[in-house]
Chain A
Amino acid sequence: MTDLELELRNLAPHLDIPEAPPLAGAVLTRLDRHRRRRRVLLVAVAAGVTALAVALAVPSSRAALLRFFHLRGAAVTAVDRLPRLSPGRPLGVPIPLGSASFRLLLPNGPRPERVYAGDGGYWLRYRGLLLFEFENTNGSEILKKAALGTTDVEYVDVDGEPGIWIGGRHALYLPGGPPRAAGHALIWQHGRLTLRLEAAVGREQALAIARSVR
């Protein structure tokens, strides 16, 4: 070992590193919360199955509702045909990143090219990726989506928080606007926020991006 290496090693005890806080309690509480959420999710899936059974039992609704998925502030309905879809519309008013009413969560990697306030939340535009974040305070659904029954729609787990993956073209309804055409998307809860990611990526890549948000 050279002198410089020895000096570095001898420096270590002099570094001002705080005592490690006990972590086990907090970690176990979070794991327990995660287990409970999974149980809730299973109940939600069971409720969806029941809704499907009811829908199929009633002939008049057989053509409309095939499956139903729900998250806080968002709902996805699987239907047999999509409505007429409008192309994209302006995302809202451009704002600086730091001026949102809550701290915006960012995926790992470059910062967003633009941030817009609109549709009851914030749109973060990246190259090839669109992220929408909102805080659901009154329990209403801000995001409503309709996907064809043949489209891959499923509940997913994003680091212990529930999410819905939509692996195909679908209709996105935002408050006060016509249904918009949307591609692959992942919606998930993150603490108090609900996020929606839209990008031409597969399920695993979308989940990896979602798991990286901080």
Chain B
Amino acid sequence: MDPPGEAALVERARRGDSGAFEALVVSYQALAFRTAFVIAGDAADAEEAAQDAFVKAHRALGRFRSGRPFRPWLLTIVANEARNRRRTRGRRTALALRAVVPGAPAEDPEAAALASEQRERLLTAVERLRDDDRDVLACRYFLELSEEETAAALGIRRGTVKSRTHRALERLQKELR
């Protein structure tokens, strides 16, 4: 569900109000960058992909159907840009774990080390999956996109999101054995 007032912003942006489009960019830049980063795995590529996506979205506003949610529509463009960059590079840069989570409460050092090891093992297993399995898991669980948004981002049907997620989880389980 789009935030209240967003449909009006989109409508104003369509009519050429650059302030309205700026407000949309500010609202969605974090999501766009994060999505592009999770797909492309590189900060410079992600920034470029997100920027290009907003420019393309602006040019395509005329084709945007009034009343439709803006967020999945934008995600389609962002994810497409990010995948193009990943394809051009010919490889994906694997995601990594933060060294320390800022503001995390102090834990038992032994338990913290174990948890960190488990996270490392899980992330390594995710990164070993093929791109389409890895992407669907990243969208659903790392970016917490809905099935509809995941479908939009990956350019697949909602039913395929369900089946692909199921398949990817099974493959991940095997990787972890």
Interface readout for B141-157 with A: 1 if CB under 8 Å, 0 if not? Answer: 11110000000000000
Contact A24 B101 (CB under 8 A): no
Contacts of B9 in A (CB 8 A): none
Q: How far is the CA of A7 from the CA of B35 in the complex (A)?
A: 20
Contact B30 A20 (CB under 8 A): yes
Contact partner of A20 (CB less than 8 A), chosen from B29, B119, B144, is B29
Count contacts on B: residues with CB < 8 A to the other chain: 46
Given the known interface contacts A11-B141, A214-B85, the answer about A17 and B37 at a Cβ–Cβ threshold of 8 Å is yes
Given the known interface contacts A9-B144, A11-B119, A15-B97, the answer about A22 and B29 at a Cβ–Cβ threshold of 8 Å is yes
**Whole-angstrom distance from the CB of B132 to the nearest CB of chain A?**
16
Contact B55 A9 (CB under 8 A): no
A2 at the interface (CB under 8 A from B): yes
**Secondary structure of the A contact surface, majority rule:** helix
Contact A23 B33 (CB under 8 A): yes
Contact B141 A15 (CB under 8 A): no
Q: How far is the CA of A11 from the CA of B137 in the complex (A)?
A: 12
B162 at the interface (CB under 8 A from A): no
* Interfacial residues of chain B within 1-38, with CB under 8 A of chain A in the complex: 18, 21-22, 25-26, 29-30, 32-34, 37-38
Contact B55 A15 (CB under 8 A): no
Contact A12 B18 (CB under 8 A): no
Interface readout for B104-119 with A: 1 if CB under 8 Å, 0 if not? Answer: 0000000000000011
B51 at the interface (CB under 8 A from A): yes
B84 at the interface (CB under 8 A from A): yes
A159 at the interface (CB under 8 A from B): yes
Contact partner of B34 (CB less than 8 A), chosen from A20, A22, A30, is A20
* Interfacial residues of chain A within 1-45, with CB under 8 A of chain B in the complex: 2, 4-5, 7-9, 11-18, 20-24, 26-28, 30-31, 34
Contact partner of A24 (CB less than 8 A), chosen from B25, B37, B47, B144, is B25
* Interfacial residues of chain A within 93-123, with CB under 8 A of chain B in the complex: 106, 108
Interface size class of A (residues with CB under 8 A): 20 to 34
Given the known interface contacts A7-B122, A11-B119, A106-B88, the answer about A28 and B98 at a Cβ–Cβ threshold of 8 Å is no
* Interfacial residues of chain B within 156-177, with CB under 8 A of chain A in the complex: 169, 172-173, 176
Contact B142 A23 (CB under 8 A): no
B68 at the interface (CB under 8 A from A): no
Contacts of B33 in A (CB 8 A): 20-21, 23
Contact B98 A16 (CB under 8 A): yes
A212 at the interface (CB under 8 A from B): yes
Contacts of A167 in B (CB 8 A): none
B79 at the interface (CB under 8 A from A): no
A160 at the interface (CB under 8 A from B): yes
Contacts of B126 in A (CB 8 A): 8
Contacts of A15 in B (CB 8 A): 38, 95-98, 123, 142
Contact A23 B47 (CB under 8 A): yes
Contacts of B137 in A (CB 8 A): 8
Q: How far is the CA of A14 from the CA of B118 in the complex (A)?
A: 12
Q: How far is the CA of A4 from the CA of B129 in the complex (A)?
A: 15
Contacts of B22 in A (CB 8 A): 24, 27-28
Q: 4 closest Cβ contacts across the A-B interface? A: A20-B33, A8-B141, A20-B30, A24-B25
| New contact pairs (13) apart from A15-B97, A15-B142, CB-CB < 8 Å | A7-B122, A8-B137, A8-B141, A15-B38, A17-B37, A20-B34, A21-B33, A22-B26, A28-B18, A30-B55, A31-B21, A108-B87, A160-B59
Q: Would you list 15 pairs from A and B whose C-beta atoms are within 8 A, ordered by A residue?
A: A8-B126, A8-B141, A11-B123, A11-B142, A15-B98, A16-B97, A17-B38, A17-B95, A18-B37, A20-B34, A21-B29, A23-B54, A27-B51, A27-B54, A28-B25
